Amino acid sequence: MSVPLRIEIMQRETIKPSSPTPLALRSLKLSLLDQFMPISHITLVLFYPGNGNDTDHLGKAKETSLRLKTSLSEALTLFYPFAGRLRDNSSIECDDHGAEYIEARIHCILSDILRKPETEVLKQLLPAAIGDAVITARDSQLLVQASFFDCGGLAIGVKLSHKIADAATLASFIKCWAATARSSSTEVIISPVFMGASIFPQMDLPIPMLPVDLIQGEAVLKRFVFEAPKISALRAKAISASVPNPTRVESVTALIWKCAMSASRSNLGVPRKAVLSLGVNIRKRLVPALPDSYGGNYVGSISPRMEDHDDLELQGIVSRIRKDLTEFGEHYAKITQGGDTSLAICKTVEDFGKMAMSKDIDYYNCTSWCNFELYGADFGWGKPTWLSPVFTTELKNVVCLIDTRDGDGIEAWISLSPEDMALFESNKELIEFSAANPSVSV
């Protein structure tokens, strides 16, 4: 698919909540975990094929756009912070400022985009900010772009502030918005809960920032797909006495990290230490556990480490990931919600930052969006044929995992330095279990 796309912006407007936010909810205090997050957006694009029986694509687009805007307004009544503005690094002013909505026409057909998905093309399906990007991120927590293709297909691009949402919260919002659009009287819509600051209170201490600069630099981003049968074989290969039941996420993460470390070592010509920051949903680890309807950032991380003398062996890497996950769960099961939790998180982030800043260690970051059931997002015209997060900045040594459409496979977007990617993508073990950027069937 050629770059750039032929895009025609039809309208841009601000969508406000259908009901005003009560005065008691007009100020939302950020949690400690929210404060850690940079002023940036989480991104997602969902693709829907056109109805072959519809020939009036323009009329259908107007009808669809109206449904999206009306249901978005209703969903914002529940997700009221998404219509607010970030005032500082401590609170959101929930003033019903609104979400930005853009309607666009894309002068090509959907299958052209999905034949070989490219990040530079996907970026153009995200809502573009007018003016300074940082100011937009502060004043607009949510931006949406509905892009209608010449064939009748649709792409819904979403940018949601990372200050008030993690991937689980994004998924909860998409499900709520879609359910509202379906307008079924029997639909049960779960209201979100925004009370992260009471669980992870702010601390009167300097906030240790995550070491984002460690993953900035020239990078090549590519998509690899691990289908369900290949993952079954990979899991069987990863079985060991210490981990008799490796999960699909553990197995795929371990293989990707192994191949990335191997590429780095080969290019450097010497063994090298490596650490992996792997995001973990804290909601499931607390006692009592919290449902995903708890909005905000509830993500911690584990940091399995490989020494320069360690063999890069799949079973051993899986064991290290499982060991850290187990210890992480035990830790959060013991601590109480409140100040002690926040203090412990601050120390963990600070310690990790010091370790990762070492000049003789490779730093990798992995995020999993698996099991969030995003493919259930039916707005009334069927489920998405494909969806994907979109990398909008150049970062290296970063991995994002997300379910395939059947829910059993995994798609991985992987960003490495050009030198490491050249060796990584030719790794025989990676080729055995994955396919490089296959076409998406419409």
By annotation, the residues acting in catalysis are 162, 378
Residue with tokens 């010091």: 354
Task: Give the whole-angstrom CA distance, residue 178 versus residue 373.
Answer: 13
Beta carbons of 141 and 84 less than 8 angstroms apart = yes
CA atoms within 13 A on the CB side of 342: 21
CA atoms within 13 A on the CB side of 119: 18
Task: Give the whole-angstrom CA distance, residue 300 versus residue 166.
Answer: 11
Helical H segments across 335-435, by residue range: 339-356, 418-424, 428-433
Task: Give the whole-angstrom CA distance, residue 301 versus residue 280.
Answer: 5
- Single-letter amino acid, residue 377: A
Residue 331's alpha-carbon distances to 276, 325, 437, in angstroms, are 19, 10, 39
Task: Give the whole-angstrom CA distance, residue 156 versus residue 272.
Answer: 42
Task: Give the whole-angstrom CA distance, residue 73 versus residue 67.
Answer: 10
Task: Give the whole-angstrom CA distance, residue 16 versus residue 251.
Answer: 43
Helix (H) or strand (E) holding 333: helix 314-334
